[in-house]
Amino acid sequence: MRHRLLLLLVFLLPHETLSGTTAAASCNRWCGGTKVPYPFGFSDGCPIALSCDANTSTPILPYRGDNGTSPYHVVFFNSTASSFVVSLPPSCARSVSDVRKALSGRSYDVSFRTVLILRGGCRGSSDAAAGAGCSVPASAVSRLLRTAQCGRNDTSTEVACVASAAPNATVARAVSLFWEKVEEQKCDDVLTSAVFMNTAEGTVSPEFKTAELGWWVNGTCAGGEAGGQCVPQTATCSDVETPSGVSGYRCACMAGSYGDGYAAGDGCNVDPTWAKLIVGAALVTWALVVLILALCIISCICLCLCCHRRRRSNTKKTKQSLKALTTLFRGELVDGELDQGLSGPRRFSFEELAAATDNFSNDRALGRGGFGSVYQGFMSDMNREVAVKKVSETSHQGWKEFLSEVRIISRLRHRNLVQLIGWCHGGDELLLVYELMHNGSLDTHLYRSDYVLTWPVRYVATFCPQKKYVVTF
């Protein structure tokens, strides 16, 4: 969320708000044609002051040495590691005190990755622990001595190596070189130095004739020096534990921006190309979301339309099929004579009733008479048991009688009458579908051969139909 707020501020605020151009005017960062990163500079207004070699446009450390030794040129700045590298060519006339004064400045000191190679009458402790795992090949030392033209090349008696940490050690912070270890060797000169760099293969390799210096700005995050404050809201501030114990800090831009992080420096800026990519990605994302939603809505509409059309088509086909089957009955045109609308009995097809009664199986027969046969059936689409009356072909009941029976019974509504559910005629077949009475009809109980009702029961059934009695048969 904080990073999103940063991006919002970047797009809404003017560019000058994120970079301290006004305060930076008091710090000159140009050495000829070379510009150094803030907080370095070449004037009194810069938190870390350097000197300038005007002949080569090269920044150098401000301390030259008491014996007129060559200046310490800055090779490059490493903003990621908050360090910079200076050259330290081999020399037999560079005292330990001069090197300490040059490399241990007001706001910088030798980093933990740098080792010093000492020479000349080293009378101090030869304990390997003093070197903290420091080891330089003898062949490399001999080559350095020849380059410096120091005369004797006896590396075992004239050379010592000192480091603040082992070259392959994992250090969580920029530990500075312990100068007390260097002075304990009691050597005459600092021959040169080396920086142990990590290679692409994952190994550590020494880079001779250079020294790495870690830097900081004196003060604290709460109240830094004038011109050293971090950019509000867009930069972070980290405290630094300095070798001398003086409070120090560094500024760094948040993710999504670049710069030095200092209000008096370049501040924190957003790459316009990167910003356009972010905006473009956001627009593409929203476009995809809208497109997906639109496709979902269109798909739902199409699905509903297809279902509606299929339902209408099935209904139309059913009606056409029924109409085709019932065009004629025994040579008479009977279309439309029993259309009762939605409130009338249902019109079934012969196939539906045949399936419900297991093709009018004898096992489903409930009774037979002069009018025809009655079969028990089950309508799966209605989840209901029914009684299907199939008019016999030998019956005298014709189409008009069948039509009258359907019309009359469909209008009757009484609790003691079974309900007519539907009808059908397929070809010359006439069928009526009634509600199934599981206990049989009244005459079945009145005229049972195995049991005769008593007169009191018959009287109640005949003259008191409104009273409820439990009659046990």
- Which residues contribute to the annotated binding site for ATP? 390
**Residue 369, token pair as written in the block:** 């008479």
Cα–Cα distances in Å, from 300 out to 289, 297, 306, 308? 17, 5, 10, 12
Question: Across the strands, what pairs with 379?
Answer: 384
At residue 203, what is the residue type? T
CB atoms within 10 A of CB 85: 21
The DSSP call for residue 201 is: T
In three-state secondary structure terms, 166 is coil
All residues at 6 or more sequence positions from 353 whose CB lies less than 8 Å from its CB, including other chains: 377, 388, 424, 431, 433
H or E stretch covering 196: strand 189-198
Distance between CA atoms of residues 167 and 171, nearest Å: 10
Binding site feature residues:
390
Determine the distance from the C-alpha atom of residue 90 to the mean position of all C-alpha atoms in its chain, rounded to a whole number: 55
CA–CA dist 4, 6 (Å, integer)? 5
Q: Is the peptide bond before 206 cis (omega within 30 degrees of 0)?
A: no
DSSP secondary structure of 345-367: PEEPPHHHHHHHTTTT-GGGEEE
Tell me how far CA of residue 155 lies from CA of 139, 167, 232, in angstroms.
Answer: 9, 21, 54
The token duo for 6 is 């940063």
Tokens of 425: 């005629």
Please identify which residue in the block is written with the tokens 């080891």: 135
Q: Which helix (H) or strand (E) holds 114?
A: strand 114-119
CB 228 within 8 A of CB 220: no
Element (H, E) at 241: strand 235-241
Angle subtended by helix axes 272-325 and 2-12, to nearest 10:
110
Which residue type does 125 have? S
